[in-house]
A and B are shown apart, each in its own frame.
Chain A
Amino acid sequence: DGGITQSPKYLFRKEGQNVTLSCEQNLNHDAMYWYRQDPGQGLRLIYYSQIVNDFQKGDIAEGYSVSREKKESFPLTVTSAQKNPTAFYLCASRLIVGARGNQPQHFGDGTRLSIL
């Protein structure tokens, strides 16, 4: 089945450690997005990418980094510079090329990151 796979489902980070969250999609979507979800704050955009080897900062990019070496993959690294990383991280993708009208973003089932 086509979809967006995020792994791991749960992740624990020690102080001062970088961790990488995986996001893979087999929907042949062009754009991919990373959001952070905190209780009572909705979803906030961290980074997004519309094509391979290109990405842009979202509203809360500080302390995060991404890469887009392949169309189907958009990993997110939470660096030690992110002082409050505990959150639910969601990856999304969207079709651009060949799309009719505005195409919606489709989400994975998230990774919950906690600090040890």
Chain B
Amino acid sequence: QQQVKQSPQSLIVQKGGISIINCAYENTAFDYFPWYQQFPGKGPALLIAIRPDVSEKKEGRFTISFNKSAKQFSLHIMDSQPGDSATYFCAASRKGGGNKLTFGTGTQLKVEL
């Protein structure tokens, strides 16, 4: 009930291409879905987040698509750049109980020139 499944585990994209990372969840009580970006040796940094009352949220080159009926959400990185090479984590939390985050297992993205 608390699991968040993330795929793919790793991804190689050409510069200028679109990177797509997918997540699926089981707990219908989740109501907050953030994406974090992590560089080696650093802590995760919030990239973008969405609530289930909207189907899409865009911030610059980053877009979250959310499908409530399928219990899936995805991150799209448009015009991918070498500087986007990092590990990306999806997560989910619900109100109450400390708003604890349940994380996916991460996707290692490499953007090649």
User: Which A residues contact B (CB, under 8 angstroms)?
Assistant: 4, 6, 31, 33, 40-45, 48, 50, 56, 58-59, 90, 92, 94, 102, 104-110
Q: Known pairs A43-B103, A102-B95, A104-B34. 16 more at Cβ < 8 A?
A: A6-B43, A40-B9, A40-B106, A42-B6, A45-B100, A50-B98, A56-B98, A90-B44, A94-B99, A102-B51, A102-B99, A105-B46, A105-B99, A107-B45, A108-B43, A110-B41
Cross-chain pairs A/B with CB under 8 angstroms, 29 sampled? A31-B99, A33-B98, A33-B101, A42-B6, A42-B89, A42-B104, A42-B105, A42-B106, A44-B103, A45-B100, A48-B98, A48-B100, A56-B98, A58-B100, A90-B43, A90-B44, A92-B43, A102-B49, A104-B46, A104-B49, A105-B99, A105-B101, A106-B46, A107-B36, A107-B43, A108-B43, A109-B42, A109-B43, A110-B41
Residues of A within 8 Å of B98, CB to CB, are: 31, 33, 48, 50, 56
Q: Is B32 an interface residue (CB 8 A)?
A: yes
User: Shortest distance in angstroms between A55's beta carbon and chain B's nearest beta carbon?
Assistant: 10
User: Shortest distance in angstroms between B58's beta carbon and chain A's nearest beta carbon?
Assistant: 18
User: Which B residues contact A (CB, under 8 angstroms)?
Assistant: 2, 6, 9, 31-32, 34, 36, 41-46, 49, 51, 89, 93, 95, 98-101, 103-106
The binding surface of chain A is classed by DSSP as strand
Residues of A within 8 Å of B103, CB to CB, are: 42-44
Residues of B within 8 Å of A59, CB to CB, are: 2
Residue in chain A with minimal CB distance to B49: A104
